[in-house]
Structure 1
Amino acid sequence: MRKVIFYIATSLDGYIASSDGSVEWLPAPPPGEDYGYASFLSTVDTTLMGRTTYEQVLTFGEWPYATLSNYVFTHTPPEAKPASVQFVSDDVVGFVTQLRQASGQTIWLIGGSTLAAPLLAANLVDELMLFVVPRLLGSGISLWHGQDAAGPLTLLRTQTWPDGMALLHYRIKRSI
């Protein structure tokens, strides 16, 4: 069975975007540093994201996930899209349950919190990789969208960088 990893950056106070949806507060990495992103991405062949996250990624320039299978959950798909993107209006839990059964590599749950909440509640997320950015936003779009608790976590590793970035990597324990 394929793993689903919720890999996302968050401010120290738990926000993934400013109140207006912007991620301009995210710092550019120092030259030659990618915080392990390329290594993680090499294990991924599928992404999951909500419509808001998809539209945010489009503002960064050329579509960065052209070699991956990308599923964007929305009830109102736009007409134009990159070739590697499929819009999905099916039930997210049912869709991801089936997707996990298919052969492939890691499934990256990019965001946002509205998409992550039902997947966490349904025990469909295996790991959390949280990049904590040393900034306090005070308000914005919360990482946690009022979902039911996913259960206890096991810390797999931590990593810190001189600029204050910190990775917290957890496995979600499953109850039997």
Structure 2
Amino acid sequence: MRKVVLYIAASLDGYIASPDGSVDWLPPLLPGEDYGYADFLSTIDTTLQGRTTYEQVLTFGEWSYPELINYVFTSNPPTEAVHPSVRFVTTDAAEFVRELRQEEGGTIWLIGGGKLVAPLLAAGQVDELMLFVVPRLLGNGIPLWHEPKHSQPLKLLRTHTWPDGMTLLHYQLTNIE
């Protein structure tokens, strides 16, 4: 069974984006440092993202993940995708991911956002959480956690802190199914 990993950055007060959806508050990378992104990216072949996250990624310029299969969950898909690797999903996210996990392939990256994360967590469809805590308080914005419906035990796998204060919290989730 394929593994689903939520790999995401959030401010210390739990926001993944500014109120307008931008992520321009994220600090620049340290010289020569990618916080393990390249290593993580080498393990995945599929992304999952909500429509708002997809639209934010589009503002970064050229499509960021052309070599991956990219599923965008939306109730109102656009008439055409920005790249052939993008596929729009209008069915139940938890059921779709449950079936996707049974297919052959690499790790599945749950990019976000919070509205997609919540039902997948509740359905036990997330195996690991790699949360990069950014040493910044936004005070307002788009929250990572949208109305969690249950308590979820976590097992700490590792932590890492960089000189700029960025901290990785890597957990394994104990699924409820």
Q: Does the aligned pair in 1 maintain the 2:123–2:176 contact within 8 Å?
A: no
Q: Does the aligned pair in 2 maintain the 1:150–1:172 contact within 8 Å?
A: no
Q: Which runs of 5+ in 1 are unaligned?
A: none
Q: Which residue of 2 aligns with 1:167?
A: 168
Taking the aligned partners of 2:101 and 2:92, their CA distance within structure 1 comes to: 14
* Identical-residue share of aligned pairs (%): 69
Q: Which residue of 2 aligns with 1:126?
A: 127
Taking the aligned partners of 1:56 and 1:146, their CA distance within structure 2 comes to: 22
Report the aligned-residue RMSD: 1.1
Q: Hey, which bits of structure 1, 4+ residues long, moved more than 3 A?
A: none
Q: Which residue of 2 aligns with 1:75?
A: 75
TM-score (ref. length: structure 2): 0.96
Q: Which residue of 1 aligns with 2:101?
A: 100
Taking the aligned partners of 2:66 and 2:156, their CA distance within structure 1 comes to: 32
Q: Which residue of 1 aligns with 2:57?
A: 57
State the AA in 1 paired with 2:62: E
The structure-2 alpha-carbon separation of the partners of 1:175 and 1:91, relative to structure 1 and needing over 3 Å to count, comes to: closer
Deviation larger for 144-153 or 113-122: 144-153
Deviation larger for 142-151 or 106-115: 142-151
TM-score (ref. length: structure 1): 0.97
Q: Which residue of 1 aligns with 2:115?
A: 114
Taking the aligned partners of 1:138 and 1:144, their CA distance within structure 2 comes to: 15
State the AA in 1 paired with 2:152: G
Q: Which residue of 1 aligns with 2:33?
A: 33
Taking the aligned partners of 1:14 and 1:2, their CA distance within structure 2 comes to: 28
Taking the aligned partners of 1:175 and 1:63, their CA distance within structure 2 comes to: 35
State the AA in 1 paired with 2:29: P
Taking the aligned partners of 1:54 and 1:70, their CA distance within structure 2 comes to: 9
Q: Which residue of 2 aligns with 1:90?
A: 91
Q: Which runs of 5+ in 2 are unaligned?
A: none
